[in-house]
A = this chain, B = another copy of it.
Amino acid sequence: MSRKPASRPPRAAKPFGGENLLFLTDAQLRQGVELMFFAYRDMIADADRLLADRGYGRAHHRCLHFVWRRPGLSVTELLEILRVTKQSLNRVLRQLVADDMIRSTVDDVDRRRRALVLTEEGEALARALSSAQNERMRRVFREAGPEAVQAFKTVLAGMIDEDRRDAALALIEDRDA
Contact = CB atoms under 8 A, between A and B. Distances in A.
A52 interface: no
Interface in A124-172: 127, 130-131, 133-134, 136-144, 146-161, 168, 171-172
B153 A29 contact: no
Contacts of A171: 34
A153 B31 contact: yes
Contacts of A133: 29, 33
Contacts of A42: 159-161
Report, as a range, how many residues of chain A touch the other chain. Answer: 35 or more
A130 B37 CA distance: 13
A36 interface: yes
Interface stretch (A18-26, A88-96, A113-121): A18-26
Contacts of A149: 16, 18, 23, 28, 32, 151, 155
A92 B33 CA distance: 21
